[in-house]
Structure 1
Amino acid sequence: MSTTVTPPPGRALDGLRVLDLSRVLAGPWCAQLLGDMGADVVKVESPGRGDDARELGVALEPQQPGQGRDSNFFLACNRNKRSIAIDFAKPAGAELVRTLVRDCDVLVENFKAGTLRRYGLDWDSLKAINPRLVYCSVTGFGQDGPYATRPAYDFVMQAMTGMMSTCGMPDGTPGAAPMRTAIPATDLVTGYQASVAVLGALIQRGITGRGQFIDAAMLDASIGFNVHLAQGFLLNGAVPTRQGNNNPIAAPSGVFKTANGWLVVAAGNDRQFVHLCNALGRPELATHPLFATNGQRVISRVALHAEIEPLLAAHPTEHWLPLLEAAQVPTTRINTMDQVFDDPQVRLRKMTVEVDHASGQRIPILRSTLNMSDSPVDYRAPPQLGQHTREVLNQWAALDPAQVEALYTAGVVEGR
């Protein structure tokens, strides 16, 4: 009797080669997602310092001379990659990158528009070498227009695209001012959208046999990230204003102080509001003329908060959480980062993994959030600067030992 052997699941992008010429966050985030799905991602870094992200934040210790820093910022954005250190400002270095491109599927870069043309590493130059190449250029403002050559930073982009105008306490309240998000939201949303575009281009290449150019602009992605706020403005011309922690279309839905901390309570519909009033011991609030419907509660938010804030402040968070959860009122405490990773649901979801880093340490890193039943993510530690130079030159460029040594001697490449 024969038996059917089920092959082990493969990774979604096994066999795909990605050359990552990007730095800091938006581009590296895009390339990391491709690496999570199994692509062989080779990160090209500048000799000496490497990716600027290595200099941002706290570093993994101890550091080894000549290997760059391994900062928390770098570690968060560069798992599942290999690193090769190439000085492509030198003609031989640029030629080496072109050699790597010949058998490459995707190139990701985030230099200012037009910068790579001077090295012959722009789209027009590389598509002549490899017509199947998917070339993803991540920039602040796109490939054309009066801002095309400007550098872009997340803080500036959050301000420019309207995000900060809708974040922060409203005018007339203590601490009123525009506020940025603590995480670099515009970089991340651009990286996510760039990775989606890359996957779409690869699917299209399977039909046409041709690669294509992707113009991934932070400006575009960030304006689109305003979603309903932007769409509301387009419909009626009303400019969204800062609402603090209050939901502008539902009440009560905000942050409330308890005796020992803070709660988010989001009773977003009339049924949940009735449950909340019962849990607070004030069932009569649910039928009060000012609070009977969500629309009335939004208009009477100040009066509503005056009723429920003293009730919530009278007891600790631990008193309210089980009561409100039992009443099916959406609620949570505002966790600090240590509380996040101590949460039983987060522990069950295994949001961290341990990997063997080239420094000799076993370190915790965030796991990928891509959960695919037949394409599980494997984990390789973020690389040290130039950790895989010889390996990649052998595997991708097929150089013989003498050619490799000549590149090292000329200062074109560094690393191991």
Structure 2
Amino acid sequence: MMKSMLQGYRVLDMTQIVAGPTCSRIMAELGADVIKLELAPYGDRTRFGGLKPRDPAHKGSSQSTYYFQHNHSKRSLALDWKNPQGLALLRALIPHFDVLVENFSPGVMERAGLSYEELKKINPRLVMCSISLAGQTGPLSQKPGYDYIAQAYAGITDLIGDPDGDPALITMAMGDTATGISAAMAIGYALLHRERTGQGQYVEATLLDTYFQMHEVAIPRVSLRKNYTPRRTGSQHPDGGPTGVFKCADGSYIALAILPHQWKAFVQALDAPELLDDPRYATAALRRDHNEDLKNTLEGWLGGFDNRDDALAALEKHRIPCAPVLTLNEAMAHPHLKQRNTVRQVHDAGLGSFDIPGLPVTFSSWKPEKKLQAGLLGEHNESVLRDILAMPDENIEQLYDEGVLIKDKTAPRSIKETTET
């Protein structure tokens, strides 16, 4: 059995921030040899985010918790590919890769002579994936932007927040992460296609397309009901249920999701059989229309418990889908997430030990590595160029001298220093 599912595949990662690095990180963890090509002189911009080393021995290094989370398990090649020599070196690498992932603004790769149409001439088996805000074509294709911009364009932001308040922002890279996962999935299918046909292909993933997929029910409604516009409903689901977030007597909150077939069990949990005869709640549609009344009834019932846990226990006796609204601190400490490696601890020489998320999937024939590492800027320059291009040490030294290659100042810079170290 192969050690890892993607062992033997080589990926050139020309991405930064979150969406692209998420895609390539998944492939790296599953065994692919991912070479993260970082643009000189600074590399991935997330090297300046998150927490940085405070130990004087590591102060000033390019490492950060933000970078580590999204780029562990990869090798870093720091190259000025805007330099003609650097671009020539990059093109020399292309035939040795199975996959290329990039998330520059549309047109950047083409202007550099690195479009898929050009690259497939030198590597017909290449699977190339471009990740962007809104795609390589269309009216929005040239618009710069990040997760929150796609969120707004997709009609997501307008639906978040209190009914009479301002739209609210999902203040985490939800769309970025989901796009990275979608891109990794698509690349896997493209590689399967290549195994069957021998042909590479071009794959696109966009934040806007990914966010638009997240509308689970509203799009057909808007399409069929010409005068219908969904509205913000705050902490309550627009379809009622009751489904949403509800306050307990101790000031904490629970989340509850009641589908129509669970209504009777919910009534039994509340020990309120009169609700079954209440004409306001006779159907799911009527319960939706009287959602505020239901919310008041439920929160009145919750007020009869001293704490959140007792209320949850009463609901769980009737298998009602419910959960405490945990802080992130509480979620990270939850034994379930720890047991399943959803929260996992990593160690970095400069940053120390800290938690990061695990993979969102598991496999019966493969287990994730327990020790994860993220490279310093350009840390693997020598090993990449030796392994892939069999480049002599003197040529590598010359690339350093001419500024084509760069390396973190806390890592050995030259071949001679590497050998001595």
Query: Same fold by TM (over 0.5)?
Result: yes
Deviation at 1:134, TM superposition (A): 0.7
In the alignment, structure 1 residue 239 sits paired with structure 2 residue 229: yes
Task: Identify the residue that residue 68 of structure 1 maps to in structure 2.
Answer: 62
Among candidates 139, 154, 163, match of residue 156 of structure 2: 163
Deviation at 1:360, TM superposition (A): 7.7
In the alignment, structure 1 residue 268 sits paired with structure 2 residue 262: no
Give the residue type in structure 1 aligned to 2:140.
Y
Q: Return closer, same or farther for 1:44/1:191 CA change in 2, 3 Å cut-off.
A: same
Give the residue type in structure 2 aligned to 1:264.
A
Task: Identify the residue that residue 400 of structure 2 maps to in structure 1.
Answer: 408
Deviation at 1:65, TM superposition (A): 5.8
Q: Judge which range, 373-382 or 190-199, deviates more.
A: 373-382
On the 8 A contact 2:179/2:210 being kept in 1, the answer is yes
Post-superposition CA distance 1:10-64 (Å, at most 9, x none): 2111110000001111111111111122111110112342101222333344474
Listed as ranges, the gaps of 5+ residues in structure 2 are 413-421
Give the residue type in structure 2 aligned to 1:375.
W
SS of corresponding position for 2:96: coil
Task: Identify the residue that residue 24 of structure 1 maps to in structure 2.
Answer: 17
In the alignment, structure 1 residue 375 sits paired with structure 2 residue 369: no
Post-superposition CA distance 1:284-306 (Å, at most 9, x none): 22322212332221111122222
Identical positions, percent: 32
Where in structure 2 are the equivalents of 1:189-200 lying within 5 Å? 189-200=178-189
In the alignment, structure 1 residue 365 sits paired with structure 2 residue 359: no
In the alignment, structure 1 residue 392 sits paired with structure 2 residue 375: no
Among candidates 134, 137, 143, match of residue 130 of structure 2: 137
Give the residue type in structure 2 aligned to 1:162.
G
On the 8 A contact 1:19/1:42 being kept in 2, the answer is yes
Q: Return closer, same or farther for 1:385/1:231 CA change in 2, 3 Å cut-off.
A: farther
On the 8 A contact 2:248/2:302 being kept in 1, the answer is yes
On the 8 A contact 2:46/2:67 being kept in 1, the answer is yes
Deviation at 1:169, TM superposition (A): 1.6
Q: 1:210 and 1:279 mapped to 2: Cα distance?
A: 58
Among candidates 66, 70, 73, match of residue 80 of structure 1: 73
Deviation at 1:373, TM superposition (A): 0.9
Deviation at 1:358, TM superposition (A): 4.9
Give the residue type in structure 2 aligned to 1:279.
A
Q: How does the TM-score come out when normalised to structure 1?
A: 0.90
On the 8 A contact 1:54/1:69 being kept in 2, the answer is yes
On the 8 A contact 1:42/1:82 being kept in 2, the answer is yes
Where in structure 2 are the equivalents of 1:212-291 lying within 5 Å? 212-237=201-226, 238-260=228-250, 261-270=252-261, 272-291=262-281
Where in structure 2 are the equivalents of 1:52-201 lying within 5 Å? 52-62=45-55, 64=58, 67-70=61-64, 72-171=65-164, 176-201=165-190
Q: 2:126 and 2:286 mapped to 1: Cα distance?
A: 57
Q: Return closer, same or farther for 1:60/1:170 CA change in 2, 3 Å cut-off.
A: farther
Task: Identify the residue that residue 4 of structure 1 maps to in structure 2.
Answer: none
Give the residue type in structure 2 aligned to 1:324.
L
Post-superposition CA distance 1:75-100 (Å, at most 9, x none): 22112211111111111111111122
Q: 2:247 and 2:218 mapped to 1: Cα distance?
A: 28
Task: Identify the residue that residue 335 of structure 1 maps to in structure 2.
Answer: 326
Give the residue type in structure 2 aligned to 1:46.
L
On the 8 A contact 2:258/2:321 being kept in 1, the answer is yes
Q: How does the TM-score come out when normalised to structure 2?
A: 0.89
Q: Judge which range, 385-394 or 55-64, deviates more.
A: 55-64
Q: Return closer, same or farther for 1:289/1:147 CA change in 2, 3 Å cut-off.
A: closer
SS of corresponding position for 1:94: helix
Deviation at 1:165, TM superposition (A): 1.6
SS of corresponding position for 1:273: helix
Deviation at 1:264, TM superposition (A): 1.2
Q: 1:60 and 1:297 mapped to 2: Cα distance?
A: 54
Q: 1:306 and 1:361 mapped to 2: Cα distance?
A: 48
Among candidates 302, 317, 336, match of residue 308 of structure 2: 317
On the 8 A contact 1:253/1:264 being kept in 2, the answer is yes
SS of corresponding position for 1:290: helix
Figure out how many residues of one structure are paired with residues of the other and give that number. 403
Q: Return closer, same or farther for 1:196/1:111 CA change in 2, 3 Å cut-off.
A: same
Deviation at 1:246, TM superposition (A): 1.6
Q: 1:240 and 1:182 mapped to 2: Cα distance?
A: 22
SS of corresponding position for 1:101: helix
Alpha carbon RMSD of aligned pairs, Å? 2.1
Q: Return closer, same or farther for 1:347/1:219 CA change in 2, 3 Å cut-off.
A: closer
On the 8 A contact 1:168/1:242 being kept in 2, the answer is yes
